[in-house]
Chain A
């Protein structure tokens, strides 16, 4: 076991009092201290998000409504993509712990295999996040006005369609103050009326102006209301997932460097694979943070 709380250690490694209170190497202890400070940062961000969400009086976007797209598919799949991302990150955490275990047996081939899979999983996660950001940026439609002065949200649920009328699911929703496209039925509010099919096509032909994409935290021209509700939602979404994504990215780089060092036999010559363990601590921490981001951002 890695900590060896039960093993007797030689006198050379004990402190002046004759026993080591921690029985852990300097590097691992410092990694833990760093992770505690990083955990405080992430907790502060998530708590700030909770504060804003709990104190707001405006309608707040619902996770499974905001995140329900899959690449190349048009039907809504609530939370499936983010669940897939979560599964990949957890699995790459598993391969990391298997790499650490292989290192404890001085099994170089095993470390290489599992560490390579970890790097692969991490890279896949970063790519997925890039796709999700891009999709979130484009949003599920836009905003149009007609010559009668009426305002409509244009609902397409597809990120790359610039002419929504070409889509079968094309629907318009009368834009009312305080009503958001993203929530089909607001908690305690009136259900929004959808305009479908021929009627929607007709309104689309009569449009005066159309602004595609609405979810940016700043206001595009003529848009008083953001597709994703209060601007703090997108602010926190980009900041928290971005900060986490940066951790994943740097974790992938660190794991890659360690993998190269393993391949060159650096740790085998050193006699132990503790560097894999230290990189592993950081990588598990990234997974740990995602577990909380997933719950507090996507589920609650």
Chain B
């Protein structure tokens, strides 16, 4: 079984001589493993939305004074917040691993006069930036630096 999709979604600007069937998507398209991974990648938008709003609340509390700040710190010790932050961390790692793997494939052959670095080098640079930024933030927010 399949259902119709937008028939113009993939249509060329000018109709060709060859007749083609209207595009359709299988009813259970989401059950294919590669589609599940793709949809999960999109669904991480839920955790990103929630954590963005949560950080807005954190920064707002920091500007509101010590009492509001202590309230946030106390709430963050609750099991619900700990589970939420663990889930967000998992989804961020998933996005990072998938996106940094895709990134080199999406590069143009030339950026101005220069060519982008080879794929493995680009991936290594992304992972180094990821690890470096994480380390610096942990050291600063964790009280080791400055």
A and B assemble together: no
**Interface of A with B (CB < 8 Å)?**
none
